[in-house]
Chains A and B, each alone.
Chain A
Amino acid sequence: MILIAEQLLNGLQYGVMLFLLAAGLTLIFGIMGVINLAHGALYMVGAYAGTWVALQTGSFWAGLPAALIAAAVTGFVIETLVIRRLYARDHLDQVLATFALILIFNELITIGFGRQPVFTSLPAAFSGSVELLPGLPYPTYRLLIIATGLAVAGGLYILINRTRIGMLVRAGATNREMVRALGVDIRLLYTIVFGLGALLAGLAGYMAGPISAVQVGMGEQILLATFVVVVVGGVGSIKGAFVAGIALGVADTMLRAFLPGMLRQVMNASEADALGIGIASMGIYFLMALVLLVRPRGLFAAGG
């Protein structure tokens, strides 16, 4: 029971992480119609920039703005130089161009920081753990991630549903052409949305640093899961990204935690582990296939 509660929290933490990435990606998808494979690169840039500053200054909190700024600036540069030229292209060109960006960013980071993973320490105030339930101590840093994710979700909800920019974003996700026809400066809107997505990706990357190694290729590992979240949630829907992010995060974590153990009861240990991890890794893709077959546009697709 305690173990299940702990894994549920781990799943929630992974889920909000996925949400932070998926929120930006789903807006870029939904509003600009661009498949941005390089979103993981922004996650990586945020992690590296923040961690580097944190190591130089010795302060976790000094790294945070560095991560956000680096990711946002990188996002701005990518948008201006590359993505802007892709809006009118088909998905194929977008996939290829952003795939090229992944190669470029991975190598740039390798040249700058080497191939070795960079490890960081937790901020002092969040290095301990609290006892949530009797017998269930849980690391405060992971709780911080969950709280941050939920706060961002709340903030985005207000931004999207209560502000003028949010209104334009919603309108853009529903019908891009109509927004343009109504005389909205769509280019500015695109840059804002892309910058916001980059910012959130940088935040997620930096937050993930202390609990998983900061290394080249970290972006791709989480990128595919993020795409699954976006597609399951419905392209262009923040609500969908939130629901799908949490659901898939929990499902993935639970499968990984408990499936090998369950299989071990019916077969020998090493085979059970391999098979369990294999099936657990397939889990989210299986769920995506299932959702798309029932609802081809995802759970909460924007637009008609």
Chain B
Amino acid sequence: MRPLVATLVTAALLFLFFVPMLTDLVGRPSLLALACRILIYAMAAASLNFVLGYGGMISFGHAAFFGVGAYTVGILYAHFASGELLFGFIPGSNQMLITLPAAVLVSGVFAAAIGALSLRTGGVQFIMITLAFAQMLFFFFVALKAYGGEDGIIIRRTNELAGLNMRDRVTLYYVILGFAVLFFLGLWRMVNSSFGAVLRGIQQNERRMAALGFAPYRYKLYAFILSGMGAGFAGALMANFLRYASPDMMHWTKSGELMIMVILGGVGSFFGPIFGAAAFMILETFLAGWTEHWQLLLGAVLLVIVLATKGGINGLLARIFRRGA
């Protein structure tokens, strides 16, 4: 990591650490909830960016994995509350150290199945087939009456973690921040590993990588599974934060929003999705508070960003710092 980036990351971490005090200081505790949502979406967007930016696979169905992760937490909680066994042999749980890995596992399984089939196609067909699978899951959960159907499933209490008081918003924020830091550390290692290098190579020239002896399909599939796991992890945290899981979380417009965050921040850059998630959520929150017709302004802003900029916010920052240096 270059010294400038390292300094900035340290500064950002310090800032994130003091966010609860800052929101108290300005007297707007609702901003803390916004910060939580940004952190969670940043993880989901970064997961999407892993396949989209590094692997060149345009998945239009990543909200499905986000939703599957959320539902895993919800369904485990429902069985914990009722005491019935899931499928007759899996006990429910309200322990975060059990539900989060479970969510990662389940969304990984879904990603493996969807990825294995979808990666046989490419281009526009890949976009559409990932969308198709996400839509199938969406309608499946809408039809799943046993777990709330359209209304989704309510999680009466946030999962427990190491005896912390999770009802306290500040505690919950620090838990989410902690997981986010771990998540991005892991992602950093993955992106800069030899696996990450192969993945970027495939994006640049698949045929050449195949000639070098790397089987593109297998590497792309691994990346897709890891990415689905990441999105599921974010979804599981979101279910804990919102205390419910609903089919809306996997609606195709959510997949679109994740994509917007990635593009807004800068495709294929490590910090891009974080900027993108923050920019999108802040824009949405403030425009919605300002006018009823906020979507018009959001649309206009997005349009200008796509047509007029290259590399999103990350690209913009890189250009500014390069000029300054």
Contact = CB atoms under 8 A, between A and B. Distances in A.
B129 A95 contact: no
Interface string B287-308: 0000001011011101100110
Contact of B60 (A95, A102, A270): A95
Given A101-B303, A278-B139, A282-B139, A298 B131 contact: no
A245 B298 CA distance: 33
Given A92-B52, A100-B303, A296 B121 contact: yes
A281 interface: yes
Interface in A234-278: 235, 270-271, 274-275, 277-278
A51 B29 CA distance: 47
B120 A97 contact: no
Task: Specify which of B293, B295, B306 lies most central, judged by the most chain A CB atoms within 10 Å of its CB.
Answer: B306
A97 B307 contact: yes
B58 A92 contact: yes
B293 A96 contact: no
Given A106-B295, A282-B136, A97 B117 contact: no
A146 to B, nearest CB: 27
Interface in A91-109: 91-93, 95-97, 99-104, 106-108
Interface string B43-77: 00000000010000010100000000000000000
Contact of B307 (A29, A85, A224): A85
Nearest to A104: B299
A242 B249 CA distance: 33
A227 B142 contact: no
A82 B135 CA distance: 28
B188 interface: no
How extensive is the interface on chain A, given as a class?
Answer: 35 or more
A235 B140 CA distance: 28
B7 interface: no
A293 B117 contact: yes
B36 interface: no
A96 B125 contact: no
A297 interface: yes
Interface stretch (B97-105, B252-260, B317-325): B252-260
A285 B306 contact: no
B296 A111 contact: yes
Contacts of A108: 296
A231 B143 contact: no
Given A277-B143, A282-B139, A292 B125 contact: yes
Contacts of B52: 92
B140 A91 contact: no
Contact of B259 (A95, A220, A228, A270): A95
A286 interface: yes
Contact of B132 (A220, A288, A297): A288
B300 to A, nearest CB: 6
B145 interface: yes
Given A93-B263, A103-B298, A281-B139, A110 B125 contact: no
B145 A100 contact: no
Contacts of B267: 92
Nearest to A227: B128
Contact of A107 (B124, B253, B293): B293
A289 interface: yes
B241 interface: no
Contacts of B132: 228, 285-286, 288-289
Given A35-B124, A91-B127, A96-B263, A275 B143 contact: yes
A116 B179 CA distance: 43
A224 B252 contact: yes
A111 B295 CA distance: 11
Given A97-B306, A270-B145, A277-B143, A285 B133 contact: yes
B123 interface: yes
Contact of A288 (B120, B128, B139, B306): B128
Interface in A102-137: 102-104, 106-108, 110-111
B149 interface: yes
A289 B133 contact: yes
Q: Which 5 A-B pairs have the closest CB atoms?
A: A278-B143, A103-B299, A107-B296, A104-B299, A100-B302
18 contacts: A85-B307, A91-B123, A95-B256, A100-B306, A102-B299, A103-B295, A104-B296, A104-B299, A104-B300, A104-B303, A224-B252, A227-B131, A231-B128, A275-B143, A281-B139, A285-B136, A288-B129, A292-B125
Given A100-B298, A231-B129, A296-B121, 11 more contacts: A92-B58, A96-B259, A96-B306, A97-B303, A99-B260, A103-B295, A111-B293, A274-B143, A279-B139, A289-B133, A292-B129
Interface of B: 52, 58, 60, 117, 120-125, 127-129, 131-133, 135-136, 139-140, 142-145, 149, 252-253, 256, 259-260, 263, 267, 293, 295-296, 298-300, 302-303, 306-307
